[in-house]
Amino acid sequence: MNIKKKDTVLILTGKDAGETGEIRKILPEKSRVMVTGRNMITKHAKPSQGKPGGIQKQEGTIHISNVELVCPKCKKACRPKSGRLESGEKIRICRKCGETIL
């Protein structure tokens, strides 16, 4: 997976296509991500001792192939390539502008 938590991504498909958001949670075993404020779904909850019931809105997951990383430097969506520093540390490099993505 070439995206991390708190990265800005562009949503490619679905009802939120063309919108950007920040990665809130990554589920690598299912190859899915949660984007803040995007793909809102409704959940029906029963009332419990401390919480009222009713219809609640929450963020749903999006498949990793349906989002693309937005470069913070050039503000364009790209698939980053990987490289290594002299120290051996892996880094992500933007294919459009060639800058390092932190």
Delimit the domains of the chain by residue range.
Answer: 1-70, 72-102
* pLDDT tens track for 46-96: 999 988 899 999 999 999 999 999 998 999 999 999 999 889 899 999 988
Confidence check: pLDDT of 1 > 80: no
Q: Coil, helix or strand for 63?
A: strand
CA distances from residue 1 to 32, 48, 83, 90 in whole angstroms, order as listed: 10, 38, 14, 13
* pLDDT tens track for 2-38: 889 999 999 999 999 999 999 999 999 999 999 999 9
CATH of 1-70, one of 1.10.10.10, 2.60.40.10, 2.40.50.140, 2.30.30.30: 2.30.30.30
- CA distance linking residue 5 with residue 36, whole number of Å: 11
pTM of the model: 0.82
Smallest CA-to-CA distance from 35 within 52, 14, 20, 55 is with 20
- CA distance linking residue 81 with residue 96, whole number of Å: 10
